[in-house]
Amino acid sequence: MQDFLQKAKQSSRIVATLSTEIKNSVLLQMANALQENTSYIIEENSKDMKNAKENNLSSAMQDRLLLNEKRVFDMANAIRQIASQTEPVGRILDGWVTKDDLNIQKVSIPIGVIGIIYESRPNVTSDTAALCFKSGNVCVLKGGKEAENSNQAIAKILQNILEKNNLPKQAISLLPDSSREGVAKLIKEDKFVDLIVPRGGEALIRFISENSSIPVIKHDKGVCHIFIDKDANANKVISIVINAKCQRPSACNSIETILVHDDIAPYILTGLQEELKLQGTQLKGCAKTLEYIKVDFAQENDFYTEYLENILNIKVVSNVNEAIEHIQKYGSGHSESILSENYTTINKFLNEVDAACVYANASTRFTDGGEFGLGAEVGISTNKLHSRGPMGINDLTTFKYKIYGQGQTRK
């Protein structure tokens, strides 16, 4: 493991200083190579699919695992899109001249070696590898066991292109020991690895946060809310709530709970219930909600749950403060929205709610690299430090200070 990681670390110095021109040329070659090897990739993927069927993976899981011609084409195009993004390395983030006439520049640089732990979808392998390469980083990828053949095939094709360009193939690596023990070892190697990004189940993320001696940027759950204020515009309420809950309930930026101001509850809950019924949404309500509409009773624990399904909690609150209190207690700091036309209430909500993304009069479903206009994303960070919310290519950089002097010494 240490040998392998040492090579990754050494490669990182080469990748960090590649020119934009070379990086983009290599990425475009990678995209073409994936397309040219479509049948090989599908062949290897079919081994994973066979195992998945034998192991009775859910049909949803099987669908995520499956590669076909269209999906390989999409993977190649994602790499082309990443190549077209603005160079993330070398941006001058800040700069000034000190009292001693030192010229200080704060410049973006690659992070170094990034370990990424993920599951299922094999396109994550090529997406992440391309994002890391574009930002001058080396990636150590640990995909799911169920996708092992697909991931190996994809990595091999990308590595071939690296070697054709006289670049170290370790710049895009799969973790050699992909067992749980392998991960446990990886997250202790702080001499060689600069960042760990876990995407996956709560238990995995918990294990990594507690045991890693390397900084971790979590992609954890989203328990998101919409607060419908008494001054909400009723026309916007239904479309936004339906979009935020029903468009893709399995997404982390979908909502779990709506908080409804007591003054507006009698006027909107019946209508909302009817519309959500058409969407097949299962509703659970607090005691107060049950006074207005007939739904299941929401238990305390329901408010903590990330459903990832078409289920919605309703809680009636008496003011914006109670809504904020509820969000701070039950929310996961992901995406929170207020529907209101009241300037002061909106201002209070946006200022006081502590979450990666706080919205006024919009669906929480916009928390996404593509929707934000950041391009392809590594994921959505639920960390509070370094990167928060949609994590684009610029979030895969850190910085250093370059200081230009003319012989200065400190007084």
Site for a copy of itself in 123-152 (CB under 8 A): none
Q: Which is nearer to a copy of itself, 225 or 284 (CB)?
A: 225
CA angle 258, 233, 259 (to 5 degrees): 15
Site for a copy of itself in 348-387 (CB under 8 A): 350-352, 354-363, 365-366, 368, 371-373, 383-386
Q: Which is nearer to a copy of itself, 61 or 360 (CB)?
A: 360
Q: Which region, judged by CB under 8 A, interacts with a copy of itself, from 13-21, 29-37, 79-87, 273-281?
A: 13-21
Rule CB under 8 A: choose which of 1, 33, 66, 102 binds a copy of itself. Answer: 102
d(Cα 221, Cα 203) in Å, to the nearest integer?
11
Query: Which helix (DSSP H) or strand (DSSP E) does residue 117 occupy?
Result: strand 113-117
Query: How far apart are CB 325 and a copy of itself at their closest, in Å?
Result: 9
Query: How far apart are CB 252 and a copy of itself at their closest, in Å?
Result: 14
d(Cα 105, Cα 400) in Å, to the nearest integer?
8
Q: Which region, judged by CB under 8 A, interacts with a copy of itself, from 102-110, 150-158, 170-178, 302-310?
A: 102-110
Q: Which is nearer to a copy of itself, 69 or 341 (CB)?
A: 341
Q: Are 298 and 313 in contact, with CB atoms under 8 Å apart?
A: yes
Long-range contacts of 98-105 (CB under 8 A, 24+ apart): 100/408, 100/410, 100/411, 101/406, 101/408, 102/403, 102/404, 102/405, 102/408, 103/403, 103/404, 103/405, 104/401, 104/402, 104/403, 104/404, 105/401, 105/402, 105/403, 105/404
Query: How far apart are CB 69 and a copy of itself at their closest, in Å?
Result: 26
Can you tell me whether residue 65 is helix, strand or coil? helix
Q: Which is nearer to a copy of itself, 50 or 400 (CB)?
A: 400
CA distances from 378 to 149, 167, 217, 389 (A): 22, 23, 11, 10
CA distances from 116 to 125, 142, 178, 216, 337 (A): 9, 6, 12, 10, 30
Q: Which is nearer to a copy of itself, 67 or 171 (CB)?
A: 171
d(Cα 261, Cα 266) in Å, to the nearest integer?
10
Query: Which helix (DSSP H) or strand (DSSP E) does residue 325 occupy?
Result: helix 320-330
Q: Are 120 and 147 in contact, with CB atoms under 8 Å apart?
A: yes
Q: Which region, judged by CB under 8 A, interacts with a copy of itself, from 33-41, 42-50, 103-111, 307-315?
A: 103-111
Query: How far apart are CB 184 and a copy of itself at their closest, in Å?
Result: 13
Query: Which amino acid would we find at residue 90?
Result: G
Query: How far apart are CB 185 and a copy of itself at their closest, in Å?
Result: 14
Can you tell me whether residue 340 is helix, strand or coil? coil
Q: Which is nearer to a copy of itself, 313 or 383 (CB)?
A: 383
Question: Taking CB under 8 A as the rule, does residue 264 contact a copy of itself?
Answer: no
Rule CB under 8 A: choose which of 88, 112, 115, 392 binds a copy of itself. Answer: 112
Q: Are 335 and 222 in contact, with CB atoms under 8 Å apart?
A: yes
Pick from 248, 245, 244, 293: nearest CA to 273: 293
Query: How far apart are CB 330 and a copy of itself at their closest, in Å?
Result: 13
Site for a copy of itself in 191-220 (CB under 8 A): 194-195, 209-210, 213, 215-216
Site for a copy of itself in 150-169 (CB under 8 A): none
Binding site for a copy of itself (CB under 8 A): 13, 16-17, 96, 98-100, 102, 104, 109, 111-112, 188, 190, 194-195, 209-210, 213, 215-216, 233, 235-236, 239-240, 242-244, 247, 328, 350-352, 354-363, 365-366, 368, 371-373, 383-386, 388-389, 398-410
